Amino acid sequence: MNQTAVPFVDTHCPYCSLQCGMRLRGLPSGAALPVEVVERPDFPVNRGALCGKGHSAAAVLAPGTRLTTPLVRDAKGGPLREATWDEALDRAAAALAGTGERYGRDAVGVFGGGALTNEKAYLLGKFARVALRTANIDYNGRFCMSSAAAAHRNAFGLDRGLPFPLADVARTGCVILVGSNLADTMPPAVRYIREMQENGGSLVVVDPRRTRTADLADLHLAPAPGTDLALALGLLHLVIADGHVDAAFVASRTSGWEAARAAAMAHWPERVEAITGVPVAGLRRAVELFTAAGSGMILTARGPEQQSKGVDTVGAWINLCLATGRAGRPLSGYGCLTGQGNGQGGREHGQKADQLPGYRSISDPAARAHVAEVWGVDAGDLPGPGVSAYELLDSLGTEGGVRTLLLMGSNPVVSAPNARQVTSRIEALDTLIVCDVVLSETAALADVVLPSAQWAEETGTMTNLEGRVILRRAAVAPAGQARTDLHILHDLASRLGHEKGFPADPEEAFTELRAASAGGQADYSGIDYARIAAEDGVFWPCPAGEDDAPHPGTPRLFLDRFATPDGRARFADVSHRPAGEEPDAEYPLYLTTGRVLAQYQSGAQTRRTPELNRAAPGAFVELHPRLAERLGVVEGEALALTSRRGRATAPARITTGIRPDTVFMPFHWPGESRANSLTNDALDPQSRMPEFKVCAVRVERAVRV
Ligand code: SF4
């Protein structure tokens, strides 16, 4: 084949929420990989830049790396064997129907993912509520940004990760980056930070570790894990004391100031220093930098969010924006750096336990009536809200819990908190059905494995961290017998008596999604595939306009009014409280977990990518030299970490870039070095986010047996 004749296809990276633009073209059969990835300079978010994960994304398409044939297990404990699609689908459908008939519909559960396209997320939610009629659907995005989403809604009445385009970061006066290591997690975004600094702006990084992102900062504050709520209140205290409150903004565009003010005044600098370990001088410098310029942004990621008080912690950072008038104005505001590729869109279209498409509440009668009409069902037949992701996983195989689970695009054996317990729950299921592109650690436990097509093999929309709806396009046909997830849902629904309503065609699914979202907060009704292609993405909300006057989309939110009933942003009434588990005599150190540059989430794809695996071949434990000396540990020595929930081992990495009272472990690896064997499943009372970012551990030199 003459390669010059094969056109490149514009598409987007399969990994993080930046959704970098890239180009793909199919390679001749016999080539090592089926597609070639090249940069795409004209996409405005990444302007041609890709990180190593994006550059190497095609590796997971390699023959032998991914699933291409359905697999079934004939008996618990027995091996998986190859099966035909008919056999595998018949088994899956029989288990889903049989469990519902025998134990009740809510004994069937569905667990989705933040990497699924909007069309898949939408149809997975519909499949749960219409074909299975179970309330029990949730997704792994609950573990990602749900605390920020709840805080966003509390404050502004609407949750969109960034209420402004990422490019605005380059022109703001100061960015406070809280618990984000974007230099590792989304490297192309660093250029906006550098441009902001070149324009005279400053960067403050809040992180217990001196990460590569903290190395870029004009000021790095390193609070103890789980104390950044107190840190934010201490900064607000100084804003008030030093006369930096924007009284006109507070009076005209906010509500709830007096309670927030009182809480901040109770967190005086010396008290905050005692709680967080951040010196008063550092607090003062942060306030100077944030208030010196006329504009500023506070961006959070998993650090403040993955806590059992994540909603309150994010609320405290939003309070700082509101008090200084840095919200609802050009080049200012609060934003969440969503993690997963479709962490944003994945939460808008109905795979969350409490939501219907368009960000509608499943408990709202008007919302139920609208969606039921689009779906052609009686609103009274739609289930109510189900339980959150961790609660769903914790119910598996238990009395009264979920007994058959359909899992699409998630790997909770590695990524869930208290993962040892979650794994034993999964093993107790009557039937586990997994749709995935690779035989992940969770898929390896399944009774039925359905091989999914990958990003380069299917078309569909994603919504990036800015709320920009973009289009991924197929470059090659699915390998082997792999099918798209939409095709799989269509086939399962047909076997459950729903011949119609579950289109395998993505554009048809998107057309229905638009109708279901119309009038909701995340209104996509004015967006279609042709428009996305022509405009390099469209920002929601984008209601349907007239043919000659289409709605332009909404790159910037809240400039005139916030989305609350009275148009005012709401201060959060929050105070410091300890983490769910604090160090004590038995478990004397903080553990915090996170990500590394060359791996992504549970590592199911990136651990199968040779180039990435060479760069980051395994877990490690970061610890301070003083702690290493106290423990008698040398660089590279095997360490055993123990918490109340489990044990993990990994080699020591000694660095001054971490607090002496804290150890860090990345969570991408399974088995003995699974960090989530240790993490705490304490949940935020509102978002139901588990406390991945802080728990108590004991660290010892590993005893070799
Ligand atoms: Fe992909 Fe994210 Fe890397 Fe961009 S930054 S190439 S979207 S993993």
Phi, psi angle pair for 701, to nearest 5°: -70, 130
Tokens of residue 423, six digits: 């794994």
577-604 pLDDT, tens digit per residue, is 999 999 999 999 999 999 999 999 999 9
Amino acid, single-letter form, for residue 290: F
Cα atoms in the Cβ-side hemisphere of radius 13 Å centred on 597:
15
Distance 22 CA to ligand 1 centre (A): 10
Tokens of residue 246, six digits: 């924007």
Q: Which residue has the tokens 């903004």?
A: 249
> Residue 145 has what pLDDT?
87
- Pick from 24, 51, 595 the residue to mutate for probing ligand 1's pocket: most ligand atoms within 8 Å of its CB: 51
Distance 232 CA to ligand 1 centre (A): 30
Ligand 1 is surrounded, with C-beta below 6 A, by 13, 15-16, 18-20, 46, 50-51, 53-54, 186-188
- Pick from 12, 17, 19, 20 the residue to mutate for probing ligand 1's pocket: most ligand atoms within 8 Å of its CB: 20
Distance 191 CA to ligand 1 centre (A): 13
Question: What is the spatial distance between Cα 265 and Cα 355, in angstroms, rounded to a whole number?
Answer: 37
Domain(s) of CATH 3.40.50.740: residues in the chain: 71-143+342-539
Task: Specify burial of residue 409 (Cβ count, 10 A radius: 0-12, 13-18, 19+).
Answer: buried
Residues in the chain predicted with pLDDT less than 50, given as ranges, are 1, 3, 705
Neighbours of 548 (CB within 10 A): 5
Tokens of residue 497, six digits: 């008596």
The CATH class of 589-701 is mainly beta
- Pick from 50, 193, 337, 344 the residue to mutate for probing ligand 1's pocket: most ligand atoms within 8 Å of its CB: 50
> Residue 196 has what pLDDT?
98
Report the chain's C-alpha Rg in angstroms: 24
Domain(s) of CATH 3.40.228.10: residues in the chain: 147-336
Distance 116 CA to ligand 1 centre (A): 16
> Residue 704 has what pLDDT?
54
Distance 285 CA to ligand 1 centre (A): 33
Range 617-631 burial, b when 16+ CB lie within 10 A, else e: eebbbbbbeebbeeb
Query: Which residue's alpha carbon is nearest to atom 4 within ligand 1?
Result: 20
Enter the pTM of the model: 0.96
Are residues 155 and 322 in contact, defined by beta-carbon separation less than 8 angstroms?
yes
Q: Which residue has the tokens 């009629």?
A: 133
Sign of CA pseudo-dihedral 82, 83, 84, 86: negative
Specify the CATH architecture of the domain 71-143+342-539.
3-Layer(aba) Sandwich (3.40)
Question: What is the spatial distance between Cα 360 and Cα 617, in angstroms, rounded to a whole number?
Answer: 42
CA nearest 62: which of 21, 89, 27?
Answer: 27
Domain(s) of CATH 2.40.40.20: residues in the chain: 589-701
> Residue 412 has what pLDDT?
97
Are residues 123 and 507 in contact, defined by beta-carbon separation less than 8 angstroms?
no
255-293 pLDDT, tens digit per residue, is 999 999 999 999 999 999 999 999 999 999 999 999 998
Specify the CATH architecture of the domain 147-336.
3-Layer(aba) Sandwich (3.40)
ipTM for the predicted complex comes to 0.99
The CATH class of 3-61 is alpha beta
Neighbours of 566 (CB within 10 A): 10
> Residue 1 has what pLDDT?
44
DSSP 528-593: -HHHHHHHT-EESP----BTTB-----SS-SSS--SSTTS-EE---------SS---SSS-EEEEE
